[in-house]
Amino acid sequence: MEPVIKMKDVWKRYNMGKAGGLTVLKEINLDVKQGEFVAITGHSGSGKSTIMHLLGALDTPSYGNIYLKGKNVKELSEDSLALLRGKTIGFIFQQFNLLPTFSALDNVMIAMEIVNTPDKEARVKAMNLLILVGLGERAHHKPTELSGGEQQRVAIARALANDPEIIIADEPTGNLDSQTGKFVMDFLRSLNKKGKTIVFVTHELELAKYASRTIYVKDGKIEKEVYNKRRLK
C-alpha cells in the first residue's frame, strides 16, 4: 500500500545571509502509512517540529521530495496544495492558533472555507464537532473567555472540520494540565481507532507510548524507529 505521506531523501537548510546557512534536517526518509499512530520525539532543536511542518506540507524541503497521497508537493501550485492539504490534513498546534476576535464556532467554521463548504452546512457541522469535544455550551465564547484546555478542544474540533484522513499535532499537550492532556491523547487514540492517521510531535517519552511507532530524531537525522508493543491503554 502506498504511504499517505512519504519523505524521500529530504534536507532542510535555511539561508542565514552573510552568516552562511543552517542545516536542520539531513537525509530524512520516512513513510507514514494509512491508519498509523506515529510519535516523533527528540530534544529541543533536534528537528522534530521541522519534520512535522514538512509532513503537513506547511513547508517545502530544500532537497529531496515529499509526497502527499502520491502527489509531489513541490510540483503543485499554491492553490492546489492548499486545497489538498485542507481536505487531507487537520492540524493541532501547541499554541492553539485560534483567532481571538472569533467565537469558538467561527474558529471551527473558518477551516471549512478553504474547501468551499456552504455556510449553513459549515455552521451545523462546526456545532456538532464542538458538542463532540464537550464544548456545545461554549460555542459562542471567544478564546479569551475559554480555558487553555477548552481552547485546545476548539483546536481539535477545527482540525476535524473537513473530516481529514490525517491529523498532525505539534506538542498537543504542551500547554495543558495533566488531566486535560490525557483527554487530548485519549481523544487522538479514539480517532486512530476509527481509522484516522495520527502523527504527533512530543518531547515526553511517556506520551510517545500512545503511538504504535516512535521516530527518534537527533541532530537533524532520524536516529531510530521503535515499534511500541506496550502502548498506553
Cβ–Cβ under 8 Å, residues 222 and 30: yes
Answer whether 45's CB lies under 8 Å from 108's CB. no
Q: How much of the chain is helix, strand and coil, in % rounded to 5? A: 35, 25, 35
Q: What is the phi-psi region of residue 27: left when phi exceeds 0, alpha when psi lies from -120 to 50, beta otherwise?
A: left
Report the 10 Å Cβ neighbour count for 152. 29
- C-alpha cell belonging to residue 222: 532520524
State the pLDDT at residue 178: 87
- Averaged pLDDT, groups of 10, the chain, 233 residues long: 91 81 93 96 92 93 94 92 92 91 96 91 96 95 95 94 94 87 92 95 90 95 88 64
Which pTM value belongs to this model? Answer: 0.90
Which of 232, 196, 198 is CA-nearest to residue 37? 198
Write the class of the CATH domain 35-58+77-227. alpha beta
Could you state, in order of their start, the residue ranges of all structural domains in the chain?
35-58+77-227
